[in-house]
Amino acid sequence: MEDAKILVNIILLILGLSVPCGARDVAASNPTAAAPAAAAAGPAASTDSSGLSAVAGLGVNWGTVTFHPLPTETMVQLLRDNGIKKLKLFDVDHEILTALAGTDIEVMVTLSNGQLAEMGSLDSAKEWVKVNLTRYLDLKGGVNIAYVAVGNEPFLKDYNGTFDNVTFPALKNIQNALNAANYNHIKATIPINADVYYSPDDNPVPSAGVWRDDIADLMDQIVAFYHNNSAPFTVNIYPFLSLYYGKGKFPVDYAFFDGNPNPLMDKGAAYTNVLDANYDTLASVLNKAGYKDMPIIVGEIGWPTDGDSNANVTLAQKFYKGLVKHLAAKKGTPLRPNDQMNVYLFGLIDEEGKSILPGDFERHWGIFSYDGQPKFDLDITGKGGQNTLVGATDVKYLAKQWCVVNPSVTNKTALEENADYACQNADCTSLGNGSSCSSLNDLGQASYAFNSYFQNFNQQNASCHFDGLATLTTKDPSTGSCKFNVQLAPPPPPMAPAPAPGLDSADGPSGSHSGSSSDHGTKSGSVQSALVPIATVVSLLFGLLAYLCLCA
């Protein structure tokens, strides 16, 4: 009994989870949510009752904070090959939207937090709609834009109210501008973090859910506006973060969907996982406000595969398999038994340019790795049978060569200094405790760092020097789960390398954008010889700027 009580407290504690700036700037996505009675509003709400078919239409978030993106057409093909019908973007990306024209992929685009203030007048919102939506809706074949995400978790506690005054006006103006342009079918919705509601400590159950005090009035107005416009409520829910921030106190079983010997009991209902408990906490708040049929969209949910002891391929696969099965069962939740949850996975592909302020796992949320290859088997097509994730095709890599420590090295100090420098300018998030390469010895870790730097700078000769401590090899140094990557080939020379990935976008979990893999700290001495390609510097700076803007 006592144990059960503690468990309950922990769960509720976690329901109100908040994240540091740079963390969880999330966004949400697709509407149509499982409208209970209205049913089947969702694109792809299949009526086929066989198993996984219910999951057809599962959405994904595509964040683009990377310095070495796959070509957009390759990515769009990847979406199509995997039967992904719903997509959420963290900005209004011209290249991506153009490539989506004529596909049946339904899209949620995002107006970033930094743009909310500008949308304070109906005229500016009309202009935004004209400039950023009409052109894509009018493209040949059209782009199936179904939602505009207004901000990305603007009410996150850690923003200290920065966006409280500008979000609702932006929501109203954008929706009204959409309606005025006869785009009433496009819904504006604010992807929010689950920290806008909670259950009180003295009654920690979903049915006791209430809005967070500081924004309760605002949330009431927002949901009234949603109701008037048949718009969905969008929330991001992260069981992985419950586990991560729970620091050993959060019951692991609740993060997954494999049943639980100690369910959380609430008025006769048994909750065995945190997704259902969190979803119903929101449902109960909406019920009390009088909107028991308001569609709910889970704008982001996912599990990272590296960068923490609980972030690995095995657990990610367990989570996703359980989630897909849970959704396919179409059982809804205790408070919303008829809801077919409308869910967007976070995320599509790894983002090497994200800030690791929230944790090293931040760059490893993809169900596909940096090169568009599946990290594990999973049927998200909803077709059942042998379907599994299909990798990107025709991927162009740089030469099969790696930069490693020269075996004759004896000066440990010099090696450490150079490895540190490499890590400041590349991605070493696989080296930390509990990560995929944590078991490498010192030399192995230095090699990993050198290679990461070398690949990040497109294998330029000078980027594998490190005061003579490094050497090239054509023998893959990867061992077990620890992969020494070969980077993607940059786009052909005449064309400028892809523009800064994340400028002006509000990307995904956490952090949204931040270019941190590249603090170009100037370390004197050793590595001056490493050439830094101009394009990369530009990308890095843009990423950094975007991060500063978002977190400012």
Ligand X SMILES: *[C@@H]1O[C@H](CO)[C@@H](O)[C@H](O)[C@H]1NC(C)=O
Active site residues: 153, 300
Closest CA to 468 of 534, 538, 405: 405
Q: Which residue has the tokens 């959060």?
A: 250
Chain positions 485 to 544 lying near ligand X, rule: CB under 6 A, are 504
Taking CB under 6 A as the criterion, the residue among 121, 184, 309, 529 binding ligand X is: 309
Minimum Å distance from CB 86 to ligand X?
A: 20
Taking CB under 6 A as the criterion, the residue among 127, 253, 293, 420 binding ligand X is: 127
Query: Which region among 218-226, 333-341, 343-351, 444-452 touches ligand X (by CB under 6 A)?
Result: 218-226
Burial pattern 344-357, b for ≥16 Cβ within 10 A else e, equals bbbbbbbbbbbbbb
Cα distances (angstroms) measured from residue 53 to each of 45, 47, 58, 264, 295: 9, 8, 10, 29, 21
> If binding is defined by CB under 6 A, does position 193 make contact with ligand X?
no
> If binding is defined by CB under 6 A, does position 408 make contact with ligand X?
no
Instruction: List all residues 6 or more positions away from 167 whose beta carbon is below 8 Å from its beta carbon.
Output: 116, 150, 151, 154, 155, 190, 218
Tokens standing for 282?
């929101």
Minimum Å distance from CB 81 to ligand X?
A: 27
Closest CA to 238 of 10, 18, 429: 18
Minimum Å distance from CB 464 to ligand X?
A: 9
Minimum Å distance from CB 351 to ligand X?
A: 18
Query: Which region among 7-15, 139-147, 157-165, 421-429 touches ligand X (by CB under 6 A)?
Result: 157-165
Minimum Å distance from CB 412 to ligand X?
A: 8
> If binding is defined by CB under 6 A, does position 439 make contact with ligand X?
no
Tokens standing for 231?
């718009």
Closest CA to 466 of 400, 428, 419: 419
> If binding is defined by CB under 6 A, does position 224 make contact with ligand X?
yes
Taking CB under 6 A as the criterion, the residue among 12, 21, 215, 235 binding ligand X is: 21
> If binding is defined by CB under 6 A, does position 323 make contact with ligand X?
no
> If binding is defined by CB under 6 A, does position 121 make contact with ligand X?
no
Closest CA to 148 of 228, 29, 229: 29
Taking CB under 6 A as the criterion, the residue among 98, 139, 210, 225 binding ligand X is: 225
> If binding is defined by CB under 6 A, does position 312 make contact with ligand X?
yes
Instruction: List all residues 6 or more positions away from 188 whose beta carbon is below 8 Å from its beta carbon.
Output: 147, 148, 150, 171, 174, 175, 178, 229, 231
Query: Which region among 158-166, 324-332, 338-346, 351-359 touches ligand X (by CB under 6 A)?
Result: 158-166
> If binding is defined by CB under 6 A, does position 431 make contact with ligand X?
no
> If binding is defined by CB under 6 A, does position 128 make contact with ligand X?
yes
The C-alpha angle 194, 199, 203, rounded to 5 degrees, equals: 160
The neighbour count for residue 525, using CB atoms within 10 Å, is 11
**What ranges make up the beta strands (E) of 251-328?**
264-266, 269-271, 296-301
**C-beta of 333 vs 463, nearer to ligand X:** 463
Q: At what angle do helices 164-180 and 216-228 cross, to 10 degrees?
A: 10
Would you tell me which residues interact with ligand X (CB under 6 A)?
21, 91-92, 127-128, 131-132, 158-162, 165, 221, 224-225, 228, 309-310, 312, 314-315, 411, 413-414, 417, 433, 461, 504
